[in-house]
Structures are given as structure tokens and as C-alpha cells.
Amino acid sequence: MLRKFCIASSVAALTLGALVATQAARAEDQKVLRINVGLPPSHTWVTAYTYFAKELPAATNNTMKAEEYYGTLLNFRETVPGIRDGVADVGLAVIAYFPAEFRESNIVGELGMLGEDGITMSGAVSEYIFNCEPCLAEFERFNQVYLGTTASPVYRLFSTTPVTTLADLKGLKIRSGAGVYTRWAEHFGASPSTLSATEVYEGLSQGVINANLHPTTELINLNLSEVAKYVTELPLGTFNAVSVYSMNRDVWNGLTDEQRAGILDLTARGNAHVAVQYEIANRAAKEAAIAKGVTFVQPDDELLAATRDFATNDAISAAKAMESTYGVQDAEGKIQRFMELAKKWTELTKDIKTDEAAFAELMKREIWSKIDATTYARAN
């Protein structure tokens, strides 16, 4: 009996040892994706990538893992060319910084003031770009694969002095961040600036600008509550001109069909995750900012009505600007298409609120389930 027990124990030990060795070898063989975000680890956008990194092994049958770089590898402006050149494999591509190179994709950014909810616009923008061949071709020219968009929560006006009237806007130096906000600022006699998000703090503290347009979250994410003491609660739309999980196309084409399918499923869930978390964080940020001494003010009726009129009429201006400045063909028709999608997703998401699982399933059903992992963005 003792001999049989010893033999059985030896066999079990060998089997366990072989299993451990196999798992260790497999872990060493995991393909590593380098993720870059040109923001500090505390920023809300980072939740997209911590989620992606955590879920990547399970999504790819433990054949892939991620290395994360937050504000250390490439900044915002460097990320798009950096992904193209293989410095990073996946990253947050702010296409608004490249209006000429992403002229088709930036149509959704030009219509940012239509947005009243980041969750709704995340669905509308993602569906538009995934079904826009000229848009996908722009990503291909930058050696990238588009994998969805998360739109921001509604923008507000941060300032160093109170802004509640049309007169207060005149002469204001405002960091705008996108074409639609530049047009809005100029329309009301302000002076727009195109500083990147990570330059806003310094710009406000040194007087280079005295106002900024961002979701309320950035008062905390970028510590802007230290330099911008007033927030005007104007409805200024959402920021749509981003590709959250832009991936290097060479890397994408080097994956198996199963790995690509896993990443597609993961990015559907990831975009839903960050959209919902962004909305939750946006609400919490207001309370935190007030505790830090920030004053939230209401625009007067004239400023509110004028801003809403601008948002309603700006689609025509956007179409003309895209055609005359960047040579976009049939801009009006493309804008109409996006406006139809915005209406569709407003209806689809009206009961979602912050139900992340429900939003992820909606994104999969309406968009990601229609993407073929064996053919999407594959090299010819």
C-alpha cells in the first residue's frame, strides 16, 4: 500500500509540475501590447486602459497581456504618429489635433455641440465611423485600426472670472480644443486657443488663457480647480473626436482571428465601461470641485438662448467649413447621416442611464456584432 501511495504521489507531483511548467511557458509566450495614454494615471480616461489591460488575457484565451504607460511614453500630440510608427501598440488617439489628416473622421467632432450625453454620443460616433469607409481609410493611412469612440460628458466653461453674459465672453481667451468650439468662441467675440489638454493648467495659471472648455471631471483630473475658480453651466456639447483604442495595424494583422475577435469584444465592453464611468465621475467631480472652492454659475437667459441657437445652426457652418477648408465631399449629406444616428442613439439609450452591462450589450448588438474579425482592417 505504501509503495502504491508513493507511486501515485510521484505521478501527481510530476503532473502538477508539468502543468505549472506549461502555464509558466504559456505566460512567457503571451504577446505583449504596449498601451499609451498621454495623461496621468489619475485621469478618468485611464479607466479605459486599466480595464483593457485587466481583461485582455481572458479575452484572448491567455495569449496576450498589456504593458501600460500613462504620461510617460508619448504625449497627446505624439500618440497618433507614435502608434503609426510602432512606439506604442494601442493608445488614445485625439484626432481633433489632426484636422487635415482625419478630415472625414473629424466630422463627428465638428458636430460636438449636438451632444447632450456622452453615453448616447459614444454609440452614435462609433457607429458612424465604423461604417464610414473614408474614415477607416484615414486610420489605415496612419497605420492604425479604429476600435471605437467614447464621447466625453457635456462640456462646460471654466474661467478665472465669472462668465454669465454675452458681454463677459467678448475678448475672453478660451482654450477651445476642436473646430466647433473655435467657431463658438469666435462667434461671440472671444479669442480661441488650441492648447492641448495637458497644457491648460499652465495656460490658465500664467494668463495665456483665462477660460477653458472641458467636462467637469477635468477640474479634478487635471487639477484645474486650482486655477479656474468659476464654472458656467452652459450646455456646450460633447467631445467626440477621439479613437479610444487605436491599434497599430501591423500588430493587428499579426494576430490570429481568435485574438482579433477577443479584442473586438473587449473594446465594445471597454468603450461602454469608460463612457459610463466618465458620466459617474463627472457628477462626483462637481461636488469635489465645490469643496475645493470652485463656484458654479448659471448663464443668463440671453447667453443660454444664443448658445442653443448657435448649436442648432452650426451644422450648416460645419458643412461649409469641411468642404472649403479640407475638401470633404458631400459634407452636408454626411452630417445629416450623423444627425440621424444621434437621434437613433438618443432613443436607444434613453433608459440606459449608468447601466454599464446594458450599454455594453447595446454596443455589441448594434455595432460590434456586425464586424468580421477575419476581414476587418486586414492587410490586402
pLDDT one-digit tens code per residue, 294-322: 999 999 999 999 999 998 888 777 888 88
| CA Rg value for the chain | 23
Q: What is the pLDDT of residue 317?
A: 79
Inter-residue long-range contacts of 67-73, CB under 8 Å, 24+ positions, other chains counted: 67/32, 67/33, 67/34, 67/35, 68/35, 68/37, 69/34, 69/35, 69/36, 69/37, 70/37, 70/39, 70/40, 70/41, 70/43, 70/46, 71/37, 71/38, 71/39, 71/40, 71/41, 71/198, 73/34, 73/36
Q: What is the pLDDT of residue 27?
A: 52
Domain range 30-151+239-292+315-370, CATH class: alpha beta
**CATH entry, 156-232, from 3.30.360.10, 3.40.50.720, 3.40.190.10, 3.30.70.3420:** 3.40.190.10
Q: What average pLDDT does this structure show over 39-53?
A: 90
Backbone angles phi, psi at 75, to 5 degrees: -85, 180
Pairing mode of beta strands 173-175, 90-94: unpaired
**Centroid of chain to Cα 66:** 19
**Centroid of chain to Cα 149:** 5
**Angle at alpha carbon of residue 183, lines to 181 and 194, rounded to 5°:** 55
Least confident of 27-36, 210-219, 272-281, 302-311: 27-36
Q: What is the pLDDT of residue 296?
A: 97
Which residues lie closer than 8 Å to 57 by C-beta, 6 or more apart?
A: 30, 63, 64, 65
Q: Identify the residue with better confidence: 6 or 107.
A: 107
Q: What is the pLDDT of residue 43?
A: 86
- Residues spanned by CATH 3.40.190.10 within the chain? 156-232
- Residues spanned by CATH 3.40.190.170 within the chain? 30-151+239-292+315-370
Q: What is the pLDDT of residue 9?
A: 45
Cell of 78: 505624439
Q: What average pLDDT does this structure show over 154-158?
A: 95
- 205-253: per-residue pLDDT in tens? 999 999 999 999 999 999 999 999 999 999 899 999 999 999 999 999 9
Backbone angles phi, psi at 156, to 5 degrees: -130, 170
Question: What span, in angstroms and rounded, lies between the C-alpha atoms of 278 and 295?
Answer: 21
Mean of all residue pLDDT scores within the chain: 90
**Centroid of chain to Cα 335:** 20
- 164-196: per-residue pLDDT in tens? 999 999 999 999 877 788 889 999 999 998 888
What is the pLDDT confidence band of residue 159, given thresholds at 50, 70 and 90?
Answer: very high
Q: What is the pLDDT of residue 7?
A: 45
